[in-house]
Chains A and B, each alone.
Chain A
Amino acid sequence: MKILVPIKRAIDYNVKVRVKADHSAVDLTNAKMSINPFCEIAVEEAVRLKEKGIATEIVVVSVGDKSCQEQIRTALALGADRGLQIDTSETLDSLQIAKLLKKVVEEESPDLVILGKQSIDSDNNQTGQMLAALTGMPQGTFASEVNFDAGKVKVTREIDGGLQTLELSLPAVVTTDLRLNEPRYASLPNIMKAKRKPLEVKSAADFGVELTSNVKVLKVEPPAQRKGGIKVADVAELVDKLKNEAKVI
């Protein structure tokens, strides 16, 4: 079984972001960048499926400028077999990414596509679902468990009230939730080996996808700041404040 794992280079989740003074975007200058945490879980799941003998090949793809090769190399060090960078300097929306990924799916014909459920920068939670729609595949979103049985995949999903298990025909799209697995660290020998694994670069134009977007970000602002509160000395004072000052109980 061939697995395609689309990954995204995103700001490291520990970084406290700052909005640019001109309110055009978030300031990413010199910010530490990493694989989006949900994408890392997707890579880990693919690697585990390969270790179980279910997957035979793992292809990692990322859309972005040359810098995202760093994240592709990381995924290769974690156990993916080869990488593909779709080169573009534009910031693309989810639909554009899904359209590009559809072309990759057509070329590679994977049995399973695993993506993160959302990237921690744009927080859209759309790409996997859109890719499933465009390729006509069923989708198993917010997966916390993935099992294969007789040509089908069983996906346990995290839903608002608890958990739900679905059975999907293959090929299918799965998006990962945080509880799916705990990603491993890449060892130094594997990082060295990853440098020799194939990494192909294609331009977005090679895929014949027109990259126009109908959504535009007008401005980005910092959220309203909460004013600093006070520390209370004991429970009695806390109860008094909640009853008489905040009037919430």
Chain B
Amino acid sequence: MTILVIAEHDNQELKPVTLNTLAAAQQIGGDIELLVAGHQCQAVADAAASIAGVTKVLIADNAAYEYQLAENIAKLIVARVNGHSHVLAPATTNGKNYLPRVAALLEVNQISDVTGVVSATTFQRPIYAGNAIATVTSNDSIKVMTVRGTAFDSVNAQGGSATIEVIDEQCDAGQSRFVSEELAKSDRPELTAASIIVSGGRGMGNGDNFEILYSLADKLGAAVGASRAAVDAGFVPNDMQVGQTGKVVAPDLYIAVGISGAIQHLAGMKDSKVIVAINKDEDAPIFQIADYGLVADLFDVIPELTNQV
């Protein structure tokens, strides 16, 4: 069995979620090839080659892959899957974008957001916003699946010595063009990789009030997240959103501040190790899943908490 894993990167750095996806691949078992498709991405391929457990790194360096446009990347992957038993990508917006296209071109199903590997053909995944876990088996010739990063411990980024093979298929479908990008800038750790997350909800009142969460987060070395209500109200940009329709996180500590705990939010964070809820409404549903709850006005207690940690 040979497993093809698609690397998540920004042409300069390999994203940590790739290491979690590789962990899922190791649980399936077999040779693991890692595809780095991008433009001027040699540094990424070099980093990929030193990951423990990777047999071979494939690098496809072409302007057509710079922004991982689904039309081009899908063609490239399909051209490379001969004889592979599995194709895995992280369940990021990128992976979710191109991988179903790959599956359909191969005329196979895709198993989305895998959270558990039972065997090489049987997998677990959450459905109904995480309110049920389905065990799914596939007898497709190639198993195509996206992997939920937070469900797997990352493999060691060092200790490997994979060969790097340059592949030169040029797959430009010519149907789509990158126009522009608007990325949120932040010095704090990335949300999906942070071990502590401080999240604010509608209770924050406005965007300026998030400053007190930023102070707390900086003291803790934490990332800052938000509920959909806070994003919709325009307090913070949408890439901070934690939930079914945003990012799924599972840090060691999740501090929910002014968040009621709607199903859609819980789907994104309820696998956190320790959950703290700070809310002035003692009936808020978030308290039903919080390990530690504090019923208080967040504007009183957050500065106090920042001083005490």
Contacts and interface: CB of A to CB of B under 8 A. Distances in A.
Interface of A: 11, 13-14, 16-17, 19, 26, 93-95, 98, 120-134, 137-142, 144, 154, 157-169, 172, 177-179, 213-223, 226, 228-232, 234-236, 238-239, 241-242, 246, 248-249
Given A217-B134, A219-B135, A249-B309, A129 B100 contact: yes
B85 interface: no
Contacts of A128: 100
B266 to A, nearest CB: 10
A62 to B, nearest CB: 20
A160 B294 contact: no
The B interface, classified by DSSP as helix, strand, loop or mixed, is mixed
Interface in B181-216: 181-184, 192, 196
Contact of A130 (B94, B100, B180): B100
A238 B127 contact: no
A179 B238 contact: yes
28 contacts: A16-B263, A26-B128, A95-B103, A95-B110, A120-B128, A125-B100, A129-B96, A129-B99, A130-B101, A132-B101, A133-B104, A138-B70, A139-B70, A139-B71, A139-B176, A154-B179, A163-B183, A164-B178, A177-B245, A223-B126, A223-B130, A223-B132, A223-B133, A231-B282, A231-B293, A231-B294, A234-B296, A236-B308
Given A13-B264, A239-B309, 11 more contacts: A16-B131, A125-B96, A161-B183, A165-B178, A178-B228, A179-B238, A214-B140, A229-B275, A229-B287, A235-B294, A246-B274
B169 to A, nearest CB: 17
Contact of B239 (A161, A221, A239): A161
Contacts of B289: 226, 229
B137 A218 contact: yes
B293 A129 contact: no
B240 to A, nearest CB: 10
Contacts of B100: 94, 124-130, 133
Given A94-B100, A168-B176, A246 B245 contact: no
A15 to B, nearest CB: 9
Contacts of B237: 162
B96 A141 contact: yes
B109 A216 contact: no
Given A16-B263, A94-B100, A139-B101, A165 B94 contact: no
A248 B176 contact: no
Contact of A142 (B93, B140, B244): B93
A229 B291 contact: yes
For chain B, which range describes its interface: under 10, 10 to 19, 20 to 34, or 35 or more residues? 35 or more
B62 interface: no
Interface of B: 67, 69-71, 74, 92-94, 96-105, 107-113, 122, 126-140, 173, 175-184, 192, 196, 220, 228, 231-232, 237-239, 244-245, 247, 252-253, 263-264, 270, 273-276, 282, 287-296, 301, 304-305, 308-309
A17 B132 contact: yes
B128 A163 contact: no
B252 A94 contact: no
A126 B176 contact: no
Contacts of A164: 67, 178, 180-182
Contacts of B192: 160
Contacts of A120: 128-129, 244
Contacts of B93: 141-142, 157-160
B229 to A, nearest CB: 12
A95 B107 contact: yes
